[in-house]
Amino acid sequence: MTPEQEQQARNQAFYLLKKYTSFTFLDQARLRYQGFLDAFVNQLKTPPLAVQNYRYAVHAQTRHEEEYKEFLRQMISMEQGLALLRSTHHKQEAYNTISRTDFMEQLFGRYADEKGVCIDPFYIALGIVYEHPGNSIHPSNHTAFIKDVIIAAAMNSTRRITTSNLKDYDPFRLVDWNSLRQSQKWTYETLFFEPEWPIPRIFPDYLPSCPSYNRNHQDQIFTGGTIPTDGIWEPWFITPIFKNTDPAKMAAKVGCPNYFLAGAVATEYQLEGMDTWEEVWWRLLWEDKRYLDGTIPAEEADYLKTRPPVAPQIFTDHKAYPGDVCPITGNWHAPHMQGKTVRVEAGNIMPGSKINAAGNAVTWYLKV
């Protein structure tokens, strides 16, 4: 990246990290869960005809009432967690309480498989679309209130990823189910990965600037150390990676900003496009003191904005495979190559490997 591009990426990363850990963002997830619950209880009171005619209707009604109670218990945890986030500086406790809300097991996990949720008329009326065993949970496959739950779960998961320092949470899994890569913390590659997931990356017309690089060596935390403050930190590599011909102008490599909770262990950092983990110095960019004065920052109003509708991408019948000679100049898209789009000139060789990391054949499709 050029210095200008890197500053723009820092601004966007800083904005998203604050958004993904904000009260407003998580309250939007709560509202989606609540919409599902309201529709659920309305169906319990007034079942659609398909539900009434279901041959196991009496038994299913009893089970649905118990399922509703479980959903309701989980919603209470989310409401308690959001109340904590607005009233205490113990953010870890608040986020842990919010994380107890997870409708996905009942809708798509082992419980759902055992109860046949995907073929239950009650849940079909709420938006579940049954295709085959092992039904995908990608939002595009489902509709209505079920889709809202999936998006809410993705929002909740995004917060967990953002504040986690474990390898268990893999940002690529949100957008590419074939990927084998993992990431302890966000990189520019994972934070801006394409195609977009259920949570669109929407920025305001005026994007607030990320704070300047923290060049203070005194308060930096080395990999393995304990993070003392809730906030956004930036990884600095130990040795200069970007080397100029003039030794006096050598600049240290600085990675993507990340959010840490106080008490977390400072992680290693995986540079974009690399499979190795590097020990780094983490330096504080911004201390998170939101909500301690009882107010919600004005910028959070922008978090509720939606993107204007855009025309869908249209693909032609032209396709090619990695290693082939490009037949037509244009933008080519490979769904099994991390959803990448590249511009290739006619006569050049189509890029990439013939097989991706998951063993799927890679095909390039020409976009209109």
Over residues 266-302, the pLDDT tens digits come to: 988 877 666 677 889 999 999 999 999 889 999 999 8
Q: Residue 250's pLDDT is what? A: 43
Dump pLDDT digits (tens) for 217-228.
Answer: 877 899 999 999
Measure Cα distances from 205 to 12, 41, 150, 257 in Å: 12, 40, 28, 22
The answer to whether the bond into 240 is cis (omega within 30° of 0) is no
What average pLDDT is seen over the chain? 81
pLDDT band at 47 (very low <50, low <70, confident <90, very high): confident
Has residue 257 got a pLDDT over 50?
Answer: yes
How many beta carbons lie within 10 A of that of residue 360, not counting itself?
Answer: 12
C-alpha distances (whole Å) from 328 to each of 332, 335, 365 are: 10, 19, 11
State how many domains the chain has.
2
245 pLDDT above the threshold of 60: no
Q: How far from 10 is each of 14, 159, 195, 316, CA to CA, in Å?
A: 6, 19, 20, 36
Q: Which of 5-9, 179-183, 192-196 comes out lowest in average pLDDT?
A: 179-183
Query: Within 10 Å of residue 186's Cβ, how many Cβ atoms?
Result: 23
Q: Mean pLDDT over residues 85-110, rounded?
A: 89
Residue 216 placed within a domain: no
Domain boundary among the residues 173, 199, 227 is at: 173
pLDDT > 60? residue 115:
yes
Kindly state whether residue 63 falls inside one of the protein's structural domains: yes
Q: Is residue 250 part of a domain?
A: no
In a domain, 295, yes or no: no
Name the domain boundary from 109, 144, 173: 173
Per-residue pLDDT at 53 exceeds 80: no
Residue 337 lies in a domain: yes
DSSP-derived secondary structure for 267-303 = P-B--TT--S-B-EEEEEEEE--TTTTS---GGGGGG
Contact by Cβ (8 Å): 192, 9? yes
Q: In the predicted model, what is the mean pLDDT of residues 240-250?
A: 46
What is the span of the domain harbouring residue 96?
3-173
Q: Summarize pLDDT for 292-345 with one digit per residue, the tens.
A: 988 999 999 988 887 665 455 555 678 888 889 999 998 888 876 656 788 899
CA nearest to 9, candidates 176, 181, 186, 175? 186
Domain membership of residue 304 (yes or no) is no
Beta bridge partners of 334: 340
Instruction: Give the residue-averaged pLDDT of 211-234.
Output: 90
- Whether 189 maps to a domain, the answer reads no
359 band by pLDDT with thresholds 50, 70 and 90: low
Return the beta strands (E) in the chain as ranges.
Answer: 221-222, 231-237, 258-260, 280-287, 315-320, 330-334, 340-344, 364-367
Within a domain: 243: no
What pLDDT, in 10s, does the model give residues 75-87?
Answer: 999 999 999 999 8
- Lowest mean pLDDT: which of 60-69, 149-158, 355-364? 355-364
Q: In angstroms, rounded to a whole number, what is the distance separating the alpha carbons of residues 255 and 186? A: 9
Task: Note the residue count of the chain.
Answer: 368
Judged by DSSP in three states, 265 sits in strand
pLDDT at 91: 92
| Per-residue pLDDT reduced to its tens digit, 136-186 | 555 567 788 988 998 899 899 889 889 887 655 455 544 444 554 555 688
CA-CA distance, 320 to 361, in Å (whole number)?
A: 12
Lowest mean pLDDT among 33-47, 107-121, 233-247, 284-298: 233-247
Domain's final residue, options 147, 173, 199: 173
**Phi, psi (deg, nearest 5) at residue 211:** -55, 155
Q: Is 193:172 a contact under the CB 8 Å cutoff? A: yes
